[in-house]
Amino acid sequence: MSTKSLTIADYTSYMVDGVPSMLLRGGSSKGAYFLASDLPSDEAERDDLLRRIMGSPDARQIDGIGGAHPLTSKVAIVGPCTDDRADVEYLFLQVGVDTDQVSDRQNCGNLLAGVGPFAYERGLCGGLGTVPNSPLRILMLNTDTVATASFSVADGAPVYDGDTAISGVPGTAAAIHLDFDDLGGSSCGAMLPTGNVVDVINGVECTMIDNGMPVVVMRASDLGIAGDETPTELETNDDLRATLEAIRLAAGPMMNLGDVTDTTVPKLTMVSAPTRDGNLSTRTFIPHRCHEAIGVLGAVSVATAALLPGSTADTVTLDPIDDRVRLEHPTGFFDATVEITHTDDGSVEVTRAGIVRTARKLMDGTVFPRAVFPRAKG
């Protein structure tokens, strides 16, 4: 992705002139979107600038535009694609809230929903837009995989208003269809990185899977919870959190992710029988806060696990004419369309994965980073 290199003059100008940015809700997350060409090309300088824009590290992010939660402390960097696999490139960065971490170790399917509209608004979409729901191919740099976004445009601008509701977001907005190519092993090298559908870690059966997001899927009952607790109840359960973190740290190397002490992957999803009209109930740690819903690519991974016979989530009974897996979560449900085929050699291939999200432009303007020298914490 082409970015400009930073001079002292640029460095000062970021503080004086600010940085062009757009704030969008992407799915059930919110983030600051930047053109790659508006940010420093040097990663350390870029990350330092982003911390100063978001207000990190600080639990309240009071001196920046971050929303004091991992789901609202997110950045999308977008630019033209340098190869012919896609039209635009998207790099997702998770900016730590009360830590100074800026990580590209995970992808984000929620901010992905805003990439098409943002690229269109910034003139990156060329001739796209003459046809409603024109597909835009997006190379997701975090995982080197491609998503195709279909969204509506009218009168030369993305349409944000519509009648699609997604859980975790009040009201309705225009649908954005996201279809994924070949997500299996996006971060772990293989969809089932251990080669097994189930492994046992610290006495708990785990399905370790990566169909877009590395996730450890466990039965809620094996962890001594019902699975219908609120995120706050789960976050204040110290024993559960310690058990989950021990499993996560052990799972990291098994999933080819190495030492995951300081990373936001793998995610941890606890599944139980549905209590509403879904196929499966979920509670997900991302990995230290409990998600109010479930991440997009995390949901695709869990839905895929649900289709694998013998997995910790294989309790799904699907309507045969409906290829959607409906995952219940604390604030509603998430539908992931996943199709798998069993190959002759006994392995499983994912033949289709797709989801529907919405996004909305919240603010377009100039953001002013705080001063270069971080202030004392507290």
Contact set with ligand NQM (CB under 6 A):
28-29, 70-71, 107-110, 213, 264, 267, 286, 295-298
Residue 228: CB partners within 8 Å, gap ≥ 6? Answer: 272, 275, 281
CB 116 within 8 A of CB 159: no
Within 8-139, where are the H helices?
Answer: 8-17, 43-54, 109-121
Comparing CB distances to ligand NQM, the nearer of 27 and 40 is 27
- Look up tokens 């899927």; give the residue: 217
Complex with ligand NQM: residue 108 or 153, whichever CB lies closer: 108
Distance CA 90, CA 119 (A): 10
Q: Which amino acid is at 20?
A: P
User: 108 vs 350, which CB is nearer to ligand NQM?
Assistant: 108
Which run of H or of E encompasses 261?
none
Q: CB of 111: closest distance to ligand NQM in angstroms?
A: 7
Q: Which residue, 233, 312, 228, is CA-closest to 278?
A: 228
Q: Which is nearer to ligand NQM, 94 or 281 (CB)?
A: 94
What is the amino acid identity at position 372?
V
Residues listed for the chain: 378
> Smallest gap, in angstroms, from Cβ of residue 313 to ligand NQM?
16
Residue 315 host element (H or E): none
Question: For residues 269 and 265, what is the distance between their CA atoms, to the nearest angstrom?
Answer: 12
Give min distance, CB of 30 to ligand NQM, in A.
Answer: 9
CB 291 within 8 A of CB 215: no
Q: Which is nearer to ligand NQM, 21 or 107 (CB)?
A: 107
Q: How far is the CB of 188 from ligand NQM (least distance, A)?
A: 14
Q: Is the preceding peptide bond at 57 cis, omega within 30 degrees of 0?
A: yes
Q: Rounded to the nearest whole angstrom, what is the least distance from the CB of residue 205 to ligand NQM in the complex?
A: 22
Residue among 255, 181, 180 nearest 217 (CA):
255
Q: Which is nearer to ligand NQM, 153 or 359 (CB)?
A: 359
What is the rounded distance in angstroms from the CA atom of residue 86 to the CA atom of residue 45?
27
Element (DSSP H or E) covering residue 298:
helix 296-307
CB of 146 to ligand NQM, least distance (A): 15
Give the residue closest to ligand NQM by C-beta.
295
Task: Pick the closer one to ligand NQM by CB: 153 or 244.
Answer: 244
Residue nearer to ligand NQM on the CB measure, 107 or 281: 107
What three-state secondary structure class fits 80? strand
Minimum distance from residue 352 beta carbon to ligand NQM (Å): 17
Residue 229 or 292 with smaller CB distance to ligand NQM? 292
CB of 295 to ligand NQM, least distance (A): 2
Residues contacting residue 318 through CB under 8 Å, at least 6 positions apart: 279, 307, 325
| In the complex, least distance from residue 105 CB atom to ligand NQM, rounded to whole angstroms | 11
Angstrom distance (rounded) from CA 314 to CA 307: 6
Tell me 138's DSSP state. Answer: E
CB of 224 to ligand NQM, least distance (A): 23
